[in-house]
Amino acid sequence: MISHVMQTRAPLSHVLVGETTATCTTLVVHGILGSARNWLSFIRRHAARTPGWRYVLVDLRNHGDSHDVSAPHTLTACAHDLQHLSVHLGLNFDAVIGHSFGGKVVLEYLRRHGTAATHTAFVLDSNPGVVNPLDVMGDPHEVIGVVSALRTFTRPIASRVELTDGLRALGFSEAMGGWMTTNLRPLPSGGFDFKFNLDAVEQMLASYFSTDSFDVLASSEDGRRVYMILGGKSDRVREDDRRRLEALSPGVSVHVLPEAGHWVHVDDPEGLSSFIAAKLMAPRGSQA
């Protein structure tokens, strides 16, 4: 039987999805400005393919319902948060899934806290290398542009429509505006504010841009498999970085979802789910 239980106690807000009797656990980590709820519908459908597995979907620090955390707001701090959650739940994370910013978070988790127990990692459309923020600032669809745009809004924001209309006027898509409304929280006095802390988010982004995680991939423990899943229509991972990833075989495998952009779980949920399920359900040591 599939159960869905929301946990909002310290250390991180999280959602459990899966069988109550499951013996294996996968951690799911969203990207910047996201939340566990962004992945909930995908994981609920996906869980039916992986009997024996439960999923822990987290709200990273300064996101969703994970508030009141102290600085510094770095990838290392995020990794420590995940380890704290593991201890809090009394669960080892046998596998980890991280999208975009969350991909680097799970790699940092493997660097700081990974053991042989965490035998499989799925890093979704995330550049493991150092990223120059100047390379992305000109693209209004990049998150750094979104953060800058959100700073222009007077808060409290009167309504969700005000946010979507304002973002559209700044050149963002209707889909982007709709996504940002999921990050609004109602205020007792009326209107809305953002769930996330913009100052902290900028610090988290700075850590993401400056961190090189290729050493984690190159030194992956014997028996651990890391799958770099890329959107075929996404440009988040540069061609030179893709070649570096391919050179790390067999410990690291590159898999491309040809019809997906950056949002792989939205653009090709079937392709992503079937790939992950096949690897999780394969006998240990037989994954390719």
Contacts of 177 (CB under 8 A, 6+ apart): 163, 164, 165, 167, 168
**If pLDDT is split at 50, 70 and 90, which confidence band does 98 have?**
very high
pLDDT value, residue 5: 43
pLDDT above 90 for 14: yes
Is residue 116 domain-shared with residue 139, that is, in the same domain?
no
Please give the tally of structural domains in the chain.
2
pLDDT above 50 for 8: no
DSSP alpha helices (H): ranges in 183-263? 198-210, 214-218, 239-246
Is residue 97 domain-shared with residue 167, that is, in the same domain?
no
pLDDT value, residue 68: 84
- CA distance from start to end of the chain: 30
pLDDT value, residue 6: 44
C-alpha 228/C-alpha 97 separation (Å) is 10
Look at 20 and 3; give whichever has higher pLDDT. Answer: 20
How many beta carbons lie within 10 A of that of residue 70, not counting itself? 7
**If pLDDT is split at 50, 70 and 90, which confidence band does 250 have?**
confident
pLDDT above 90 for 120: yes
- Pairing mode, if any, of strands 95-99 and 24-29? parallel
Domain that holds residue 108: 2-130+211-281
pLDDT above 70 for 137: no
For residue 117, the one-letter residue type is A
Gyration radius of the chain over CA positions: 18
Q: Are 27 and 93 in contact (CB under 8 A)?
A: yes
Question: Among 31-45, 109-123, 133-147, 181-195, which stretch is predicted with the lowest mean pLDDT?
Answer: 133-147
Q: Are 65 and 77 in contact (CB under 8 A)?
A: no
Is residue 146 domain-shared with residue 220, that is, in the same domain?
no
Is residue 194 domain-shared with residue 272, that is, in the same domain?
no
Is residue 158 domain-shared with residue 109, that is, in the same domain?
no
Look at 172 and 258; give whichever has higher pLDDT. Answer: 258
pLDDT above 90 for 283: no
Does residue 287 fall inside a structural domain? no
Mean pLDDT of 203-207: 95
What's the gap between Cα 274 and its chain centre?
19
Does residue 286 fall inside a structural domain? no
**If pLDDT is split at 50, 70 and 90, which confidence band does 115 have?**
confident
- Pairing mode, if any, of strands 14-19 and 225-231? unpaired
Phi then psi dihedrals of residue 244, to 5 deg: -65, -40
Q: Which pTM value belongs to this model?
A: 0.91
172-to-150, 165, 178, 224 alpha-carbon distances in Å: 11, 9, 10, 40
The last residue of a domain, from among 180, 201, 222: 201
pLDDT above 80 for 270: yes
Mean pLDDT of 181-209: 93
pLDDT above 80 for 135: no
Is residue 122 domain-shared with residue 104, that is, in the same domain?
yes
pLDDT above 60 for 136: no
Mean pLDDT of 146-168: 95
Provide the mean pLDDT of the chain. Answer: 90
Does residue 225 fall inside a structural domain? yes
DSSP state of 6: E
Phi then psi dihedrals of residue 262, to 5 deg: -65, -35
DSSP alpha helices (H): ranges in the chain? 37-47, 75-89, 101-113, 143-150, 160-169, 174-181, 198-210, 214-218, 239-246, 264-267, 269-281
